[in-house]
């Protein structure tokens, strides 16, 4: 067994991993602020408008619902990976990008022995190398899994709405990650904006607090307009970015994507999965 683990360690160490892959986590303090809709439509825009190779991972524990928006089922999910199935068989390709459903299955990580952990890391590393962007849709709040994914990501988009409760909860999430772990790679997205420049007002409030109490300067990634077409699309299990390319929401989304694509990758992220799984193991 020790030899097998050593063999896998060597394989993991040898590969030039993620030279061009960027890991982006989507998170929020408060629930229901539009993360999953943003994650799915953002993946769609990066893949179809910017010709990027994208993997979307549904890491929401309680409410895995990326598959609902994509009108797919959950037959292929990450739990099967833990049972020894090959990762390539679990990828679902819809709408021009790949998706890995139900990362919540990783709950049982504590029960995995070292060999299986290394095998899992090896498979996830190997898979991840082939993408430009890996987008991770998280649960709301400051749960242990969210923190593990965010800490390992190059960038974390924090979604908030103009509601004071949502702004407060975003502050709490940022404060925990920054004060406890020194993590500061946040970008703020203000969703459900109804007025021009509303995103600036919301961002200024949040940034004022992080500046004053944490000595931390945030970055505004952009706004997302309130969209009746989006609500309609959710009900019909369609993607607003696909059906309504000129809807203000889709236009805002493309602006955020253009900014992201235009940014050079500041740092290589060679150990994303090693980090996530070790953070998860530490906490369970």
Ligand X SMILES: Nc1ncnc2c1ncn2[C@@H]1O[C@H](COP(=O)(O)OP(=O)(O)OP(=O)(O)O)[C@@H](O)[C@H]1O
Site for ligand X, rule CB under 6 A: 28, 31-37, 60, 63, 140, 191-192, 224, 226-227, 230-231, 234, 249
109 binds, among ligand X, Mg ion, none (CB under 5 to 8 A by kind): none
Cβ nearer to ligand X, comparing 190 with 218: 190
Does 36 sit near Mg ion (CB under 5 A)?
yes
231 binds, among ligand X, Mg ion, none (CB under 5 to 8 A by kind): ligand X
37 binds, among Mg ion, ligand X, none (CB under 5 to 8 A by kind): ligand X
Cβ 231 to ligand X shortest distance, Å: 4
DSSP codes of every residue in the chain? -HHHHHHHHHHHHHS-TTSS-EEEEEE-SSSSSSHHHHHHHHHHHHHHTS---EEEEE--SS---HHHHTT--SSS-THHHHTT--GGGG-EEETTEEEE--GGGGGGGGG--HHHHHHHHHHHHHHHTT-SEEEEEPPSS--HHHHHHHHH-SEEEEEE-SSHHHHHHHHHHHHHHHHHH----EEEEEEEE-STTHHHHHHHHHHHHIIIII-----EEEEEE--HHHHHHHHHT--HHHH-TTSHHHHHHHHHHHHHHHSPP-S--TTHHHHHHHHHHHH-
Cβ 167 to ligand X shortest distance, Å: 15
Cβ nearer to ligand X, comparing 47 with 240: 240
245 binds, among Mg ion, ligand X, none (CB under 5 to 8 A by kind): none
How many residues touch Mg ion under the rule CB under 5 A: the total is 2
Question: Are the C-beta atoms of residues 239 and 40 closer than 8 Å to each other?
Answer: yes
Q: Which residues pair with 137 in a beta bridge?
A: 26, 58
Cβ 129 to ligand X shortest distance, Å: 28
Cβ nearer to ligand X, comparing 209 with 225: 225
Cβ nearer to ligand X, comparing 174 with 192: 192
Cβ 284 to ligand X shortest distance, Å: 22
Q: Which stretch binds Mg ion (CB under 5 A): 32-40, 114-122, 186-194, 208-216?
A: 32-40
Cβ nearer to ligand X, comparing 115 with 226: 226
Cβ nearer to ligand X, comparing 34 with 210: 34
| φ, ψ for residue 84, nearest 5 deg | 100, 0
99 binds, among Mg ion, ligand X, none (CB under 5 to 8 A by kind): none
33 binds, among Mg ion, ligand X, none (CB under 5 to 8 A by kind): ligand X
Cβ nearer to ligand X, comparing 70 with 120: 70
- CA Rg value for the chain: 18
Chain residues in the site for Mg ion (CB under 5 A): 35-36
């Amino acid at each position: 067994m020790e030899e097998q683990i050593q063999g896998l360690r060597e394989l993991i160490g040898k590969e030039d991993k993620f030279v061009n892959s960027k890991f982006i986590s989507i998170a929020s303090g408060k629930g229901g602020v539009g993360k999953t809709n943003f994650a799915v439509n953002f993946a769609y825009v990066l893949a179809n408008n910017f010709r990027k190779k994208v993997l979307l991972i549904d890491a929401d524990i309680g409410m895995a619902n990326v598959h609902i928006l994509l009108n797919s089922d959950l037959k292929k999910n990450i739990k099967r990976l833990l049972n020894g199935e090959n990762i390539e068989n679990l990828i679902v390709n819809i709408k021009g990008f790949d998706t890995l459903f139900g990362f919540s299955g990783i709950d049982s990580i504590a029960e995995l022995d070292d060999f299986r952990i290394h095998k899992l890391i090896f498979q996830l590393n190997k898979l991840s190398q082939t993408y430009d962007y890996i987008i991770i849709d998280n649960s709301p709040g400051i749960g242990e899994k969210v923190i593990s994914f965010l800490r390992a990501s190059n960038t974390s988009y924090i979604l908030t709405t103009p509601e004071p409760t949502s702004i407060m909860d975003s502050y709490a999430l940022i404060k925990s990650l920054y004060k406890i772990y020194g993590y500061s790679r946040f970008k703020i997205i203000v969703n459900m904006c109804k007025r021009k420049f509303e995103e600036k007002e919301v961002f200024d409030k949040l940034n004022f607090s992080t500046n004053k109490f944490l000595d931390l300067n945030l970055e505004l990634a952009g706004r997302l307009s309130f969209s009746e077409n989006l609500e309609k699309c959710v009900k019909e299990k369609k993607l607003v970015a696909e059906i309504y390319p000129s809807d203000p929401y889709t236009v805002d989304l493309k602006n955020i994507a253009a900014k992201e694509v235009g940014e050079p990758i500041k740092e290589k992220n060679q150990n994303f999965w090693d980090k996530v799984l070790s953070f998860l193991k530490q906490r369970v």
